[in-house]
C-alpha cells in the first residue's frame, strides 16, 4: 500500500533461520513467480530501519499463493495474493543487510517508476497511431472523421502533449543510464506520463465513437489497461507528495 513503513509482515530470527508471517495483497506475476522477494519487519520498533528483504522460493512450507485476482484490465498478467504462515527460511535468505530493506527499495523505485512511465508513453503513442488510422477510414456526414476540425485539433493537441512527454522520459532515461535519476524526478515522470496516458487514451477512444468501447478494437483494451498505471508503483498522489517534499525542502 501507500504506507510502506506500515507493513505488518514480520520476520523473526530463530537460531539460524527467520520465521516469516504475514501477507501481500497485490503482486504482479505472483502466480507465475517461483522466487519472490518478501519485505518484512525484522524490528517493528525501528520504523523504516527495521525493514529487511528476504528471498523466498515457491513451494516453501507455509508460503501459499492466493487466487488470481479479477482485474478491470491488464488481463494478460496475473495479480495475486501471497500468504506467509510460519515460513522458515535460512538466515542466508536475507537479501543484503538486516534493517536495510527500506533503503534498498528506495534505491530501486526510480527504475520501476521510469519503467511505468516508458510503458505509459508507448501506450499513448500507440493509441494515437491507431486513432490516426481509424479517423481516416471512418466516415460520417459524407466525409472522413479526420476532416472534422474537432478531430484535427484534438489530434494536434494530443500529438504535442505526447511529444513533450517523450522529451521528459528520454531525459529521465538518460539520467538513469548515468546513474543520476533521483526519486522526485522519477516520481514526476511516473505521475505526469500516466496521467497523460489516461487522458490521451480517453480522447482517442472518444474519436472511435461506439467502436472504441468494443473489445475488438485495441483502444478499448488500452483504456482498460491504462487505469491502473496511476495506482501501482506508488499512486500518483504519493508521487506528488514526493515531488512537493523535495521542492519545499530547505
Q: Is 26 in the site for ligand FAD (CB under 6 A)?
A: yes
Q: Which is nearer to ligand FAD, 111 or 133 (CB)?
A: 111
Q: Which three cell numbers stand for residue 83?
A: 500468504
Choose the stretch contacting ligand FAD; rule: CB under 6 A; options: 93-101, 205-213, 216-224, 226-234.
226-234
Q: Does residue number 32 form part of the binding site for ligand FAD (CB under 6 A)?
A: no
Query: Which one of the spans 149-157, 196-204, 219-227, 232-240 is the region binding ligand FAD (CB under 6 A)?
Result: 232-240
- Give me the active site residues, please: 112
Nearer to ligand FAD, 24 or 130 (CB): 24
Query: Which parts of 44-103 interact with ligand FAD (CB under 6 A)?
Result: 71, 74, 79
- Min. distance of Cβ 194 from ligand FAD in angstroms? 12
Among 1, 47, 90, 96, binds ligand FAD (CB under 6 A): 1
Q: Is the Cβ of residue 28 or residue 68 nearer to ligand FAD in the bound state?
A: 28
The correct pick among 7, 221, 232, 243 for binding ligand FAD (CB under 6 A) is 232
By CB under 6 A, tell whether 237 contacts ligand FAD: yes
Q: Is 238 in the site for ligand FAD (CB under 6 A)?
A: yes
| DSSP secondary structure of the chain | ---GGG---EEEEETTEEEEEEEEEEEETTTT-SEEEEEEES-GGGGGGGEEEEEEETT-TTEEEEEE---SS-TTS-EEEEEEEEEEEEGGGEESSTT-HHHHHHHHHHHHHHHHHHHHHHHHHHHHHHHHHHHHH-EETTEEGGGSHHHHHHHHHHHHHHHHHHHHHHHHHHHHHTT---HHHHHHHHHHHHHHHHHHHHHHHHHTGGGGGSTTSHHHHHHHHHGGGGTTTS-HHHHHHHHHHHHH--
CB of 15 to ligand FAD, least distance (A): 29
Query: Could you tell me the three cell numbers for 202?
Result: 480517453
Chain positions contacting ligand FAD, by CB under 6 A: 1-2, 26-28, 71, 74, 79, 228, 231-232, 234-235, 237-238, 241
Amino acid at each position: 500500500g501507500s504506507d510502506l513503513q506500515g507493513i505488518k509482515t514480520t520476520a523473526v530470527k530463530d537460531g539460524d533461520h527467520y520465521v516469516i508471517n504475514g501477507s501481500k495483497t497485490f503482486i504482479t506475476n505472483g502466480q507465475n513467480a517461483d522466487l519472490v522477494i518478501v519485505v518484512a519487519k525484522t524490528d517493528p520498533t525501528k520504523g523504516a530501519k527495521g525493514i529487511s528483504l528476504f528471498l523466498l522460493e515457491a513451494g516453501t512450507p507455509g508460503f501459499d499463493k492466493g487466487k488470481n485476482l479479477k482485474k478491470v484490465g491488464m488481463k494478460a498478467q496475473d495479480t495475486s495474493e501471497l500468504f506467509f504462515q510460519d515460513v522458515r527460511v535460512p538466515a542466508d535468505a536475507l537479501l543484503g543487510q538486516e534493517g536495510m530493506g527500506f533503503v534498498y527499495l528506495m534505491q530501486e523505485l526510480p527504475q520501476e517508476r521510469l519503467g511505468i512511465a516508458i510503458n505509459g508513453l508507448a501506450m499513448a503513442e500507440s493509441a494515437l497511431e491507431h486513432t490516426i488510422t481509424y479517423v481516416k477510414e471512418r466516415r460520417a456526414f459524407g466525409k472522413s472523421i479526420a476532416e472534422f476540425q474537432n478531430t484535427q485539433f484534438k489530434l494536434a493537441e494530443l500529438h504535442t502533449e505526447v511529444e513533450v512527454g517523450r522529451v521528459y522520459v528520454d531525459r529521465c532515461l538518460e539520467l538513469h543510464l548515468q546513474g543520476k535519476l533521483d526519486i522526485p524526478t522519477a516520481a514526476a515522470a511516473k505521475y505526469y506520463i500516466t496521467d497523460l496516458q489516461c487522458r490521451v487514451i480517453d480522447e482517442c477512444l472518444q474519436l472511435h465513437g461506439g467502436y472504441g468501447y468494443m473489445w475488438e478494437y485495441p483502444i478499448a483494451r488500452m483504456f482498460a489497461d491504462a487505469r491502473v498505471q496511476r495506482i501501482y508503483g506508488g499512486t500518483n498522489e504519493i508521487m506528488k507528495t514526493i515531488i512537493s517534499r523535495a521542492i519545499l525542502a530547505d
